[in-house]
Structures are given as structure tokens and as C-alpha cells.
Structure 1
Amino acid sequence: SFDLYLGLQIHVINMNILKAQFDSLKATVYHPLAPHQAIGKGNIDHLTIGAYTTTQFVYPFQINYDPHLDTQGILQDIIDKCGFTGYPRQPITVMLELTPTIKFFNVAVSITVNHSIQLECPL
């Protein structure tokens, strides 16, 4: 098994009059072949997105791979989509579960958003 630690460069353009203050912003990533087995996660605390501004930050993210848990061929799918086995390179589809937490008058409010995203091969 291995863990890969990344710092994802994020740029947010906020065209709104209000700033957004997050107590935390958590993300979990799943591969479509194993939609209930997390392959990565990240978290950042105390994030402020200013009003009428572009905010840049580094989002700490960790990818976890354990071959004993990979019964669906996740690693093989990624290798194929990266073009290492003769297949043409193509984006890797993952499921993102994003949970922002915002405090209103010292009461934490969280919602969870699920979205499919496509990433270019990181290798």
C-alpha cells in the first residue's frame, strides 16, 4: 500500500458582495469502480473567500491505495487511462464528496455535495 500527499492549487473567483467563511472544508474521493471505498481525502480549516476577489490557497490532499482492498481493479483502470498499457490517454473520472462547514452565530452548519469530476492523469 502507499499514501501520496499532494497540495492542490485552488483558485476561487468570488463575484459576490458577501465573503464566505468556512470553519472547515472536507473532501473525500471515490473511484466509480468502488463507490463506497474512499481512495483519497483532504481537509482545510478556517478558510475565508473574500468578496469581489480571487482567493488562492493550497488544499492538502492525501491519496490512499491498498492493493488488498482493490478488488475492482482501480489501479489498473488508472494505469489504462494514463496510457501506460497502450490505451489512449483519457481523463480519470472520480466521485467527489465535498462537505463545507460554515458557522452562523457559533452554530456549525454542514451540507454534503456529491459530484462527478474528471482529472487528467497525474503520472
Structure 2
Amino acid sequence: MEGRNACIRYLCCACCLPGWAAGIIWFIIIAIIIVIIVLAAIAGTFIMPTVDMAGVSSNPTTGSQISFTGDGLRINFGLIINVNNPNLLSIDLSNINATAFYPTPKGGRPQIGGGYLEQQAVPKYSHFNFTFPFHIEYNPDIDLDQSILTDIADKCGLTGGKKQDITIDYTIHLTAKVLMVKVHPTISSSATFVCPIDVRIYPISIA
């Protein structure tokens, strides 16, 4: 019972303090109330931003466009990511980690690459585009019948035909921070795009 209405008694005690001290206390109290109201209003109107792929950049952000590692093949390019942020506050994205999966003609879904970006700021009230470093990495250990290699070579025009669309499934894990609040959304979807390789070599054949 001794603790009942303690806050009210403390507020009343402010009247017993010197004028300057009571003014400071009331200023702090009112400021806290205003901040709480503003944060509550922002949280109540917050809309989760949407993330979509807006295209493909054939210019890799790091390294060469295509490289060979032993029996493997690595294609480096950039995914142009569009973030629609309709909110009053900017959003900080960090630890953006993507994993790519290749739907095979036989119905499999082996992991075939991904990408990582440490940090990206998204302005308020914006449709914001940024380039996410991405790669497709072919490993013959997951493609014993070479069906994936043949499919990639055909769609990239490396066997003499026209370029075709490549479809990959992807999962993106990231951390989104607004003020002091952090969330960890996971985005899973598919992307279809023209092979980013600029074919300036002679056609090759797949054995």
C-alpha cells in the first residue's frame, strides 16, 4: 500500500522544488510523453516495405563477369533490387544474405550460388533501387548428368543459339532497422532474367 500512487506523489513534490528545478522536471516529463506519442503514431502507420527484383546488371560489382575454377563455372553479375518504402522513416538494411537454387528439368532444386551485401540504406518515401552482388556458381558435383550445365550454356547462347531467360529460386535473409527496432524478414521468391553473359566468344559445345 505504501507504493500506491507513488508517481502522483512524486509529481506533486515537484511543486515543492525551486521554480527552475520544477520546470526542468516538467519539461522532461512532457518531452517523454511527446516522444511516446510520436513513436506510437509512427508504429501504428508503419507499412512493411516491399522488395522486388527490377532487373539484372551484366556488370559485376566485384571480379570478372565469368571465371572458371577447376571444373566449375562462376557467373558474376548484379541483381537490381527495388525497395518500396512508403514510410516516414528511412530503413537500414544489413547482413543481406541471398541463396540461389536452380530448378532443374528433372524437378530438382540444387543450391547454385547467392550473394552478400553488408549494408544498404533505403530513404523514406522512396522507390529505391540498388545493385546486389550476385553469382551463379556451377559445381559438377551436383550435376552428374550435366543437365544443369547444358541448360545454362543453351540459355546463355554459349552453344550458338539465342539467349533465353534463366529462372532461379532465391531466399534472402536480412536485418531491417527502423530507429531502435530490428526485424529479420526472410524473402523467398523466383526471378527470371536474360543470361547476363555478354557473349563475345566462339560458341562452345557441351560434351
CA distance in 2, matches of 1:51, 1:105: 12
* Bigger CA radius of gyration: 2
Tell me how far 1:105 sits from its aligned partner. Answer: 7.1
2:111 is aligned to: 38
TM-score, structure 1 as length reference: 0.74
TM-score, structure 2 as length reference: 0.48
The equivalences for 1:77-92 within 5 A come to 77-85=151-159, 89-92=163-166
Deviates more, 1:91-100 or 1:17-26: 17-26
Higher relative contact order (CA 8 A, sep 6+): 1
Query: Counting helix residues as a fraction of each chain, which structure ranks higher?
Result: 2
Tell me how far 1:99 sits from its aligned partner. Answer: 1.3
**One-letter amino acid of the counterpart of residue 183, structure 2:** V
1:115 aligns with 2:189: yes
Aligned residues: 122
1:3 is aligned to: 74
Q: Tell me, what secondary structure is at the counterpart of 1:122? A: coil
Change (3 A) 1:117 1:6: closer
1:19 aligns with 2:90: yes
Q: Tell me, what secondary structure is at the counterpart of 2:169? A: strand
Tell me how far 1:83 sits from its aligned partner. Answer: 4.4
Change (3 A) 1:83 1:40: same
Tell me how far 1:117 sits from its aligned partner. Answer: 1.3
1:60 is aligned to: 133
Q: Deviations over 1:12-43 (max 9, x none)?
A: 454443322112211111101141x2211111
Q: Which runs of 5+ in 1 are unaligned?
A: none
Q: Which runs of 5+ in 2 are unaligned?
A: 1-71, 198-207
Q: Percent identity?
A: 34
Change (3 A) 1:82 1:62: closer
Query: Counting strand residues as a fraction of each chain, which structure ranks higher?
Result: 1
| Contact kept? 1:102, 1:108, Cα under 8 Å | yes
Change (3 A) 1:53 1:102: closer
